[in-house]
């Protein structure tokens, strides 16, 4: 049976795939924002990062959020992921209203129901790859599902590197460890903030292929923020922001179509 190699290039493991415990229904919503606002500062110094954003993110779908610099795309993702609090409106993850939760409840929700892949890999330097992968489960006092853990590790081509610490891994390998960490807990949704921003084109393509496969093979829900049209082309849908508002969206994106739309948005903001 074919396995993922040390290069990390994805291979066909259709005979050994294991879906998450609860499969999303076609119309299920993994995350939702309703009339969300975010204001930094007060009075004349107030900055309106989000100005009434309403958007759904379907379960089992890969969505990219794009927009010009300062459009509010990272702010939106941070509010959806419970990393920042909205100033107004409703934010839901799997039907749970985040704006009504306290700090401890938000922390528990992030730990148990959300996976993260950041531009800076956020690996603990003193831990091995496998220890970094299982760290969120260890903190939560949960034992990993060994069959699922093995599937994720093999699919991402990490088995030869499990005993290595981050300094012994390339950037692409570190980000694959971060992807495995996000997947191993079977979260309801994975958020990625510029997940390929620190990678070369080849390593970036491998990470995007992993996220794409997580949706196609494991029925995972993925939402990323990116400025790269090539990264957005891996998604099922692209949501475009400008001046803190959603101004357009695109289904079945290509890099060329996304680039054309971004040039148009940049011109609108400049004008």
Confidence of residue 44 (pLDDT cuts 50, 70, 90): confident
Mean pLDDT confidence for 18-31 = 61
Burial 85-110 (b: 16+ CB within 10 A, else e): ebbebebbbbeeebbebeeeebeebb
Instruction: Determine the Cα–Cα distance for residues 11 and 30; give it in Å rounded to an integer.
Output: 28
Instruction: Determine the Cα–Cα distance for residues 223 and 149; give it in Å rounded to an integer.
Output: 22
From the list 147, 151, 116, the residue with the least C-alpha distance to 132 is 116
How confident is the model at residue 18, as a pLDDT? 36
Query: How confident is the prediction for the chain on average, in pLDDT?
Result: 88
Burial 153-182 (b: 16+ CB within 10 A, else e): bbbbbbbebeebbbeebebbbbbbbbbbbb
Confidence of residue 155 (pLDDT cuts 50, 70, 90): confident
Look up residue 255 and give its two tokens: 């890099």
Confidence of residue 140 (pLDDT cuts 50, 70, 90): confident
> What one-character DSSP code corresponds to residue 52?
E
Instruction: Say what the pTM is.
Output: 0.85
Ranges of each domain in the chain:
62-82+100-270
Mean pLDDT confidence for 208-225 = 93
Residue with tokens 């396995």: 3
Q: Does the pLDDT at position 215 exceed 70?
A: yes
How confident is the model at residue 264, as a pLDDT? 85
CB 194 within 8 A of CB 225: yes
pLDDT digits (tens, 9 = 90+) for 52-77: 999 999 999 999 999 998 999 999 99
From the list 239, 242, 254, the residue with the least C-alpha distance to 31 is 239
How confident is the model at residue 231, as a pLDDT? 96
Mean pLDDT confidence for 135-144 = 91
Mean pLDDT confidence for 126-134 = 97
User: What are φ and ψ of residue 66, in 5° steps?
Assistant: -135, 160
CA angle 129, 214, 67 (to 5 degrees): 100
Instruction: Determine the Cα–Cα distance for residues 157 and 176; give it in Å rounded to an integer.
Output: 8
Mean pLDDT confidence for 227-250 = 96
Q: Which residue has the higher pLDDT, 11 or 64?
A: 64
pLDDT digits (tens, 9 = 90+) for 181-211: 999 999 999 999 999 988 888 888 988 999 9
From the list 227, 249, 194, the residue with the least C-alpha distance to 211 is 194
Confidence of residue 248 (pLDDT cuts 50, 70, 90): very high
Mean pLDDT confidence for 146-167 = 93
Mean pLDDT confidence for 11-39 = 65
Domain over 62-82+100-270 is classified CATH 3.40.50.740: no
How confident is the model at residue 269, as a pLDDT? 62
Instruction: Determine the Cα–Cα distance for residues 197 and 226; give it in Å rounded to an integer.
Output: 8
Sheet holding 222-225, edge to edge: 114-118, 189-193, 222-225, 62-66, 237-242, 245-251
């Amino acid at each position: 049976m074919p396995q993922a190699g040390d290069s990390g290039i994805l291979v066909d493991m259709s005979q050994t795939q294991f879906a998450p415990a609860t499969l999303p229904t076609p119309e299920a919503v993994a995350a939702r924002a309703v009339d969300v606002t975010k204001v930094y500062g007060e009075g004349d110094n107030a900055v309106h990062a989000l100005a009434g954003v309403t958007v759904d993110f379907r379960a089992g779908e890969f969505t990219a959020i794009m927009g010009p610099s300062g459009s509010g795309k990272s702010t939106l993702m941070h509010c959806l992921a419970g990393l920042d609090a909205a100033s107004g409106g409703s934010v839901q993850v799997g039907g749970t209203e985040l704006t009504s939760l306290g700090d401890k409840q938000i922390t528990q929700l992030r730990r148990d129901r959300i996976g993260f892949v950041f531009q800076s890999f956020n690996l603990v330097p003193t831990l091995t790859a496998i220890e970094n992968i299982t760290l969120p489960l260890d903190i939560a006092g949960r034992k990993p599902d060994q069959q699922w853990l093995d599937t994720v590790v093999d699919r991402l081509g990490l088995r030869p590197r499990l005993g290595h610490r981050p300094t012994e891994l390339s950037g692409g390998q570190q980000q694959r460890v971060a992807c495995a960490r996000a997947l191993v807990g079977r979260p309801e949704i994975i958020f990625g903030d510029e997940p390929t921003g620190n990678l070369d084109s080849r390593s970036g393509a491998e990470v995007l292929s992993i996220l794409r496969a997580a949706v196609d093979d494991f029925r995972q829900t993925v939402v990323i923020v990116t400025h790269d049209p090539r990264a957005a082309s891996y998604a099922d849908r692209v949501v475009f922001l400008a001046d803190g508002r959603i101004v357009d969206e695109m289904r079945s994106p290509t890099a060329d179509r996304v680039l054309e739309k971004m040039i148009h948005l940049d011109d609108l903001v400049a004008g």
